[in-house]
Amino acid sequence: MYILAILAMLSLLIIVSKKIKDNYYKKATQQHIKISSPLQIAYLNNGLPGYIRTVLFQLIQEGYLTKPKRHWFGYKVKATATHPPVKDLSKVEQTIFHYAASNESWHKIINHQELHEDLWKTEATMETQLTNFNLLYPQPVLNRLNKLRGIFILFTLTLGSYRYLLGTEKARTGIWSLLFVGMLGMMLITHVAKLDRVTKQGQKYLSSLKNSYKDLSPAKSNKYKLVVTSLLKDDKQEMASLLKMLKNKKPNQHSWAQMPQKYLNNLSANPQLET
């Protein structure tokens, strides 16, 4: 009975999760996805840290910040001695520039809690835009699914306690098996059929972009390299990729219109990076 109840809850979670995935995938394939900035790609790929990383890379390209240099505690950037006027930057770029100019380490800037709080309007805008394109799941949907998990975990715990307290003497002697089944059930309920913040169509969109923008050659245009940066994850290869693209960096030579559009292939929603 106890095991059957846990299996029933797991099955319901899988059904609900699949229904949500299919629903948002269907919505996404019925609209024309228009991504107008690598910053949107960065946020879709890695949230606010990815957005900040991409802005930092752009500030390096434009001569506001130095290339990252290795120190004993990581990589650091700082303002260049003859950078262009800061007033020419957008408010968001100015905010990130000032944090970077305080001589913080690269990863500390990207994950700086105060900086994240200062960019809450930008975060809200990105969430709205990408949710409207059905590339991100709305937070209330994720919250409801997590609430359902919580209810199932509480039910599992309550049912297990009931079986032990009100069960027969024979049932009580099997406390360890009951405890094992209960713990295993709660672990499965916690982890099975979890939804990532990015929808199925969002994952396909990012995968297609990564297949098209994977050349780390310094000879590529600044715009191309900005898209590559937006697709990086926060891992050990991130800095190596950035430094490779920044080697002998050249001024921007190409417009968005000259960039390859191969990532449009096999995407039924026909997403595109607008010029």
Express each pLDDT in 72-114 by its tens digit: 778 889 899 889 999 999 999 999 999 998 867 888 899 899 9
Mean pLDDT of 131-146: 88
pLDDT at 195 over 60: yes
pLDDT at res. 270: 44
Residues 128 and 51 grouped into a single domain: yes
Domain that residue 11 falls in: 2-29+138-191
Residues 107 and 21 grouped into a single domain: no
Among residues 93, 88, 86, 89, the alpha carbon closest in space to that of 119 is found at 93
More confident site: 42 or 149: 42
Distance CA 29, CA 62 (A): 37
Which of 191, 218, 234 is the endpoint of a domain? Answer: 191
Residues 212 and 116 grouped into a single domain: yes
Residues 120 and 186 grouped into a single domain: no
Residues 67 and 88 grouped into a single domain: yes
pLDDT at res. 168: 54
Residues 43 and 87 grouped into a single domain: yes
Residues 22 and 146 grouped into a single domain: yes
Count of domains for the chain: 2
Any idea which of 57-61, 95-99, 171-175, 265-269 has the lowest mean pLDDT?
265-269
Residues 114 and 128 grouped into a single domain: yes
Residues 93 and 209 grouped into a single domain: yes
Distances (CA, A) of 160 to 12, 155, 166: 19, 8, 10
Name the pLDDT band for 11 (thresholds 50, 70, 90).
confident
Residues 226 and 261 grouped into a single domain: yes
User: What are the φ and ψ backbone dihedral angles of 105, each rounded to 5 degrees?
Assistant: -75, 155
Name the pLDDT band for 263 (thresholds 50, 70, 90).
very low
pLDDT at res. 275: 34
Contact between 221 and 252 under an 8 Å Cβ cutoff? The reply is yes
Mean pLDDT of 21-31: 79
Which of 171, 191, 211 is the endpoint of a domain? Answer: 191
pLDDT at 59 over 90: yes
User: What are the φ and ψ backbone dihedral angles of 78, each rounded to 5 degrees?
Assistant: -150, 165
Token reading at 157 = 């715990």
Distances (CA, A) of 1 to 117, 178, 188: 48, 11, 17
Name the pLDDT band for 9 (thresholds 50, 70, 90).
confident
Residues 131 and 142 grouped into a single domain: no
Task: Report the DSSP pairing between strands 272-273 and 74-76.
Answer: unpaired
Any idea which of 21-30, 167-176, 228-237 has the lowest mean pLDDT?
167-176
Which of 191, 208, 236 is the endpoint of a domain? Answer: 191
Residues 100 and 16 grouped into a single domain: no
C-beta neighbour count of 177 within 10 angstroms: 11
* Residue in the structure block whose two tokens are 């600044």: 222
Among residues 266, 209, 200, 205, the alpha carbon closest in space to that of 25 is found at 200
Element of type H or E holding 30: none
3-class SS at 112?
coil
Contact between 255 and 226 under an 8 Å Cβ cutoff? The reply is no
C-beta neighbour count of 240 within 10 angstroms: 11
pLDDT tens digits, residue range 226-249?
Answer: 999 999 987 667 888 888 888 865
Distance CA 135, CA 197 (A): 9
